[in-house]
Amino acid sequence: AVFCIPPLSVVGLSEEQAIEQAKNDILVFTSTFNPMKNTISGRQEKTVMKLVVDAETDKVLGASMCGPDAPEIIQGIAVALKCGATKAQLDSTVGIHPSTAEEFCTM
């Protein structure tokens, strides 16, 4: 986590590292998201997020995020990565609404 403005956080493999190290093809999911809490207040503060997934096993290999609350949100994703979470498991998780964290469950 880099505590700058906006904060930046990364866990696991980057897209480039996954291409080099993965035994299978990878899938990359990206999103530019404005959480509902910003929409309601009229703020246009976007967050950029990325998930890197093993195409064959569906295992999440890495995640990155740039935007408000990125360090805290990535900490939760880090636990999921250590437990071997799959993209399907993230998709089946109820997102923390109305924060940006919910987007990791809908990408």
pLDDT at position 70 is 93
Catalytic site residue from 36, 84, 91, 97: 97
SS3 content of the chain, % helix, strand, coil (to 5): 35, 30, 35
pLDDT score at 24: 87
Q: What is the pTM of this model?
A: 0.88
pLDDT tens-place string over residues 13-57: 999 999 999 888 999 999 998 877 777 788 888 899 999 999 999
Distant-in-sequence, close-in-space partners of 65: CB < 8 Å, separation ≥ 6: 8, 9, 10, 47, 48, 49, 50, 73, 74, 100
Q: Is 97 a catalytic residue?
A: yes
pLDDT at 106 over 80: yes
Q: What is the DSSP string of 1-19?
A: -B-SSS-EEEEE--HHHHH
- What's residue 89's pLDDT? 96
- The predicted pLDDT at position 41 comes to 81
Q: How many helices (H) and strands (E) does the chain have?
A: 4, 4
Q: What is the pLDDT of residue 4?
A: 92
Tell me the CATH number of domain 8-105, given options 2.30.40.10, 1.10.10.10, 3.30.390.30, 3.30.70.890. 3.30.390.30
Quick: pLDDT tens for 52-82: 999 999 999 999 999 988 999 999 999 999 9
Q: Where are the domains of the chain?
A: 8-105
